[in-house]
């Protein structure tokens, strides 16, 4: 790597020739404020908050896009630099709503933090306030244009990371907005509701739709029996909003907190993930051995399902018909568990805690009511649960750990790894291998499908068969794979696709922010949970065995087909 010599605030350093001034400064611990910049996306240099002085340059420069050069002298802390930054932030604040105390991003707002760090105690300018209506006609996301600072991050995430291209800049000057085409609402646009725009937005211009009020009302309704399920990825991220480090496993404290909130039963989505493997694994074996449609593609991620229904409806036959763990849990709670506990299902309120905003949309799909009721009534993100815990005054770090309730709280390590990219594939391979061969695996860890590469490929030998698999995350990578399938350029048998970076650990409803380092820590924690599990294969879960032996019958049987499988169809929006 070729290096150049530069001086930053009197420090002489060697930095890579292709670095920017911002990267060089941060590399030696000099913090320059940024707003439009995000390390995972191309720099724009539009907000001008990262201004610095480069000796010899005409005026101050945006450090996030200004390249270093041999002998460069940079000053980041001069009176002119500080005043310029303050002026930029004050101009943003002059047009920004002054509702910080009631804003969903209060204390987690990047604009708020920058204003404090810049020492702004008064706003010298009074600008015209915007008055755009909320875009809230969908179950997942709320857009408030009045809080948009035009950083363009959501545009870059939606186009670069996801390849969906919902957002664009429209109009000019003061009237510039970020919007879907023709100023459509997200419910009319080709939005998959993955929530990555909400994760990357520095303010509250895009947030998850808050359903905590409805859940509070259910919890305080004595006529309702309120149960909750928690997704695997929540246990390794929730603590980040409650005083723990990234990747800390807080399963026991989470269960205890949910019981303190008043839930009648606290169950684990990992139980229904084990059921998903029984059905999806059996479905794959059926397709593999009876000339069914291959490759079969997982359908656990609702953002991914929305994407293929919107963009690739001709390939829907490749999707597994097995419902996601959230929806399998929902239908089993209002049928199997209701019978077992002798509770009228109309009195059950089923709540799920998910790392995903698209799960809010999935729960409202018309076909997700096989129990005779809406199978999952409310979906809360990891962020919403953290807010409820704080609102209840629960000292999360001081809670004694508690266990999930039986039987729908009993799960395996295979189910927990659903939370990381490659986890569904690995869990399925553990079961498919033993079912096909009738032999116990010597090694149950399939490292070839692990890791944070965007697309992974592997060949797995199962008995006398060689199974070719692929794992992908983000919709941009999904598009690459789907285009190959369309062209007949692949010979995969089985594919896992997740909409979000790193899988559910990087979901649109997880604590902000989800950097590569944080996703790595969460992923390591997921595999730590698997390694610590007493049972690590879905087909060995005793509660799942009892479910099939006493109630469902068998995977792909008549009852499971009716309750646990679904169909997909093309989505047409305006």
Q: Which residue has the tokens 């009020």?
A: 213
Provide the β-strand partners of residue 494: 296, 469
Assigned token pair, 281: 């694994």
Instruction: In whole angstroms, give the CA distance from residue 138 to residue 129.
Output: 26
* CA distances in angstroms from 147 to 68, 93, 496, listed in the order given: 34, 10, 37
Question: What amino acid positions are annotated as catalytic residues?
Answer: 280, 283, 300, 320, 359, 362, 367, 504
In the numeric block, which tokens belong to residue 133?
A: 């209506």
Q: Cis omega before residue 113 (within 30°)?
A: no
Cβ proximity of 511 and 525 under 8 Å: no
Element containing residue 6 per DSSP (H, E): strand 3-8
**Quick one: tokens of 87?**
């002026």
The span from the CA of 89 to the CA of 355, in Å, is 32
Task: Give the rounded distance of the alpha carbon of 372 from its chain centre.
Answer: 29
d(CA 567, CA 321): 6
Rounded Cα–Cα distance for residues 271 and 252 (Å): 16
In 3D space, the residue among 199, 208, 204, 200 whose CA is nearest the CA of residue 36 turns out to be 200
Q: Cα–Cα distances in Å, from 307 out to 187, 433, 564, 570?
A: 14, 30, 22, 10
Instruction: Report the alpha-carbon distance of residue 518 to residue 345 in Å, rounded.
Output: 40
Signed CA dihedral, 214, 220, 224, 229: sign only: positive
């Amino acid at each position: 790597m070729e290096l150049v010599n530069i001086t930053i605030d009197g420090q002489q350093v060697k930095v890579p020739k292709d670095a920017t001034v911002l990267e060089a400064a941060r590399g030696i611990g000099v913090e320059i404020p940024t707003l439009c910049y995000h390390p995972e996306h191309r720099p724009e240099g539009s907000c001008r908050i990262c201004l610095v002085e480069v000796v010899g340059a005409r005026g101050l420069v945006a450090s996030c896009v200004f390249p270093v050069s041999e002998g460069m002298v940079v000053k980041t802390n001069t009176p002119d630099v500080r005043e310029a930054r303050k002026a930029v932030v004050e101009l943003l604040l002059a047009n920004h709503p002054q509702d910080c105390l009631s804003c969903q991003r209060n204390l987690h707002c990047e604009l708020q933090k920058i204003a404090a760090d810049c020492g702004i105690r008064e706003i010298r300018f009074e600008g015209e306030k915007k008055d755009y209506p909320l875009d809230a006609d969908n179950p997942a996301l709320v857009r408030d244009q009045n809080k948009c600072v035009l950083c363009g991050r959501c545009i870059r995430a939606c186009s670069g990371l996801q390849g969906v291209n919902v957002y664009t800049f429209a109009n000019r000057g003061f009237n510039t907005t970020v919007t879907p085409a023709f100023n459509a609402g997200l419910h009319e646009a080709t939005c998959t509701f993955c929530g990555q725009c909400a994760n990357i937005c520095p303010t509250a211009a895009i947030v998850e739709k808050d359903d905590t009020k409805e859940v509070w009302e259910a919890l305080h309704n004595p006529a309702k029996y309120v149960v909750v399920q928690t997704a695997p990825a929540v246990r390794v991220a929730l603590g980040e909003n409650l005083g723990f480090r990234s990747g800390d496993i807080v399963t026991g404290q989470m269960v205890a907190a949910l019981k303190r909130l008043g839930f009648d039963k606290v169950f684990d989505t990992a139980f229904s993930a084990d059921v998903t493997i029984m059905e999806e694994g059996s479905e794959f074996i059926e397709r593999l051995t009876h000339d069914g449609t291959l490759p079969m593609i997982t359908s656990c991620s609702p953002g991914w399902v929305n994407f293929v229904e919107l963009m690739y409806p001709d390939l829907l036959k490749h999707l597994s018909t097995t419902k996601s763990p959230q929806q399998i849990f929902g239908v089993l709670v209002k049928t199997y568990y209701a019978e077992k506990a002798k509770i009228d299902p109309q009195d059950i309120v089923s709540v799920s805690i998910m790392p995903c905003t698209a799960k809010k949309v999935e729960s409202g799909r018309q076909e997700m009511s096989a129990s005779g009721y809406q199978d999952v009534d409310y979906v809360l993100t990891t962020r919403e649960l953290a807010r409820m815990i704080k609102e209840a005054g629960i000292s999360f770090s001081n809670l004694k750990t508690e266990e999930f309730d039986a039987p729908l709280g009993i799960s395996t390590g295979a189910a927990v790894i659903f939370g990381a990219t490659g986890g569904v594939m690995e869990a399925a391979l553990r079961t498919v291998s033993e079912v096909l061969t009738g032999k116990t695996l010597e090694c149950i860890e399939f490292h070839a499908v692990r890791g944070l590469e965007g697309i992974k490929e592997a060949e797995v030998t199962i008995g006398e068969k060689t199974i070719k698999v692929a794992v992908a995350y983000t919709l941009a990578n999904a598009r690459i794979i789907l285009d190959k399938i369309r062209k007949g350029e692949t010979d995969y048998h089985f594919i896992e696709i997740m909409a979000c970076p790193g899988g559910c650990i990087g979901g649109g409803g997880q604590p902000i922010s989800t950097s590569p380092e944080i996703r790595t820590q969460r992923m390591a924690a997921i595999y730590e949970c698997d390694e610590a599990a007493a049972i690590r294969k879905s087909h060995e879960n005793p509660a799942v065995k009892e479910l099939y032996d006493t109630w469902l019958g068998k995977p792909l049987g008549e009852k499971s087909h009716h309750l646990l499988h679904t169909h997909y169809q093309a989505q047409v929006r305006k």
